[in-house]
């Protein structure tokens, strides 16, 4: 499946003042002084393209700081005038859209808690009808690709072509080092079905803690994501929201210096030739793998018929244990990761069982 989105190239609306493209600013606008001083220090790094600030904060529990509101839009506009940085804010209602547009905000984004709700996304889309402003859509809280796609489609159908996705990780029941599990596969799946849709990464909300931000940022760039949104605060230790994950502008600047930008393709023809040759080898090996899988499955089918005609169960645990042990030993000798071998074997085994179950449910063909 390919998504039918009408997308303007990122460079047409988000001119990167330096590489990689970085959007930064505080999680929340708190005071005029906090916002302006953060903005000036970020600008001084020379590495930031867009200033972000949360004006309305969707909080899980009532009574927590819910954003400074309209007053913050005035400060943000002042920061824009003084630094020359374009600005971005999160909108969650039609009223937010109206106020942000009136206040001269340059880019809007839809937060993870809004993307989960098609009513909210549609309300925002309706408010954007006929407006020419870039919109970035964060992934929903839960790992549901369709909700993310649906939100992008709703905004695109409202006529917004300056559109990008932001990968900020997904809520997971499992405890892990991350605040939100990256689940990179979902971002890669979105990239595969919408190749012209720019995808940025938000390592701050994935990590939830400062220490991991560099690692996730590099991984995002290695996966060819087009930019990063990283929270920065003049003094993170006293931040009113997301204190643990915000960086000082100086720390952010150092982090950006450690990042390596790798190009998906190279101008160098010797490199390109070598790469083409190696890719050719991979293609041939992949063909062989699938050919062999096909052969294996046709034997599996024969065994299925034989088991059915002799009234034998599909699964024989001893046999499966034997396969697992032998193949894992061979795989490890070939320097393949044990976890990887087990996953591959389990996939092959479950497909074999599926095929044999289908055969079991057919009529017997042979008389014993």
**Which of 10, 21, 22, 27 is close enough to bind ligand PEP by CB under 6 A?**
27
User: Could you give the string, one character per residue 240-279, with x where binding to ligand PEP holds by CB under 6 A and - elsewhere?
Assistant: ----------------------------------------
Q: Closest residue (Cβ) to ligand PEP? A: 111
Q: How far is the CB of 41 from ligand PEP (least distance, A)?
A: 19
Which region among 110-118, 190-198, 242-250, 274-282 touches Mn ion (by CB under 5 A)?
Answer: 242-250
Q: How far is the CB of 115 from ligand PEP (least distance, A)?
A: 8
**Which of 22, 242, 247, 252 is close enough to bind Mn ion by CB under 5 A?**
242
29 binds Mn ion (CB under 5 A): no
Which region among 12-20, 107-115, 315-323, 340-348 touches ligand PEP (by CB under 6 A)?
Answer: 107-115
User: Could you give the string, one character per residue 159-178, with x where binding to ligand PEP holds by CB under 6 A and - elsewhere?
Assistant: ---------x----------
Q: Which is nearer to Mn ion, 123 or 242 (CB)?
A: 242
Q: Which is nearer to ligand PEP, 203 or 304 (CB)?
A: 203
Q: How far is the CB of 16 from Mn ion (least distance, A)?
A: 23
Q: Which is nearer to Mn ion, 127 or 136 (CB)?
A: 136
27 binds Mn ion (CB under 5 A): yes
Full 3-state SS string of the chain: CCCCCCCCCHHHCCCCCCCCEEEEECCECCCHHHHHHHHHHHHHHCCCCEEECECCCCCCCCCCCCCCCHHHHHHHHHHHHHHCCCEEEECCCHHHHHHHHHCCCCEEEECHHHHCCHHHHHHHHHHHCCCCCCEEEECCCCCCHHHHHHHHHHHHHCCCCCEEEEECCECCCCCCCCCCECCHHHHHHHHHHCCCCCEEECHHHHHCCHHHHHHHHHHHHHCCCCEEEEEECCCHHHCCCCHHHCECHHHHHHHHHHCCCCCCCCCCHHHHHHHHHHHHHHHHHHHHHHHHHHHHHHHHHHHHHHHHHCCCCCCCHHHHHHHHHHHHHHHHHCCCCHHHHHHHHHHHHHHHHHHHHHHHCCCCCCCC
User: Could you give the string, one character per residue 189-218, with x where binding to ligand PEP holds by CB under 6 A and - elsewhere?
Assistant: -------------x--x-------------
**Which of 43, 47, 80, 138 is close enough to bind ligand PEP by CB under 6 A?**
138
Q: How far is the CB of 281 from Mn ion (least distance, A)?
A: 45
96 binds ligand PEP (CB under 6 A): no
């Amino acid at each position: 499946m390919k998504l039918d989105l009408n997308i303007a190239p990122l460079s047409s609306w988000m001119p990167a003042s330096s590489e990689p493209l970085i959007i930064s600013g505080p999680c929340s606008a708190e005071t005029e002084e906090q916002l302006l001083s953060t903005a000036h220090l970020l600008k001084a790094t020379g590495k930031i393209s867009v200033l972000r600030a949360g004006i309305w904060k969707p909080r899980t529990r009532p009574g927590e700081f819910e954003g400074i509101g309209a007053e913050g839009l005035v400060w943000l506009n002042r920061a824009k005038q003084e630094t020359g940085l374009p600005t971005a804010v999160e909108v969650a209602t039609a009223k937010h859209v109206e106020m942000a547009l009136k206040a001269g905000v340059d880019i809007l984004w839809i937060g993870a808690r809004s993307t989960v709700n098609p009513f909210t996304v549609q309300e925002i889309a309706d408010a954007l009808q006929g407006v020419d402003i870039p919109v970035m859509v964060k992934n929903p809280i839960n790992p549901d690709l369709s909700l993310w796609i649906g939100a992008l489609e709703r905004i695109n159908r409202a006529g917004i072509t300056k559109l990008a996705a932001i990968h900020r990780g997904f809520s997971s029941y499992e405890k892990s080092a991350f605040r939100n599990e990256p689940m990179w596969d979902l971002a890669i799946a979105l990239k595969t079905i919408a190749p012209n849709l720019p995808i940025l990464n938000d390592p701050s909300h994935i990590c939830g803690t400062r220490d991991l931000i560099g690692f996730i940022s590099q991984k995002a760039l290695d996966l060819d994501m087009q930019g990063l949104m990283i929270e920065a605060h003049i003094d993170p230790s006293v931040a009113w929201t997301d204190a643990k994950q915000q960086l000082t502008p100086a720390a952010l600047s150092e982090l950006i210096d450690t990042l390596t930008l790798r190009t998906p393709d190279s101008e160098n023809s010797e490199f390109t030739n070598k790469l083409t040759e190696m890719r050719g080898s991979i293609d041939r090996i992949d063909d062989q793998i699938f050919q062999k899988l096909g052969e294996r499955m046709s034997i599996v089918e024969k065994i299925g018929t034989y088991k059915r005609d002799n009234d034998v169960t599909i699964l024989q645990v001893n046999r499966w244990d034997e396969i697992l042990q032998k193949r894992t030993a061979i795989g490890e000798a070939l320097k393949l990761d044990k976890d990887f071998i087990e996953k591959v074997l389990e996939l092959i085994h479950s497909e074999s069982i599926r095929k044999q179950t289908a055969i079991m449910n057919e009529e017997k063909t042979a008389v014993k």
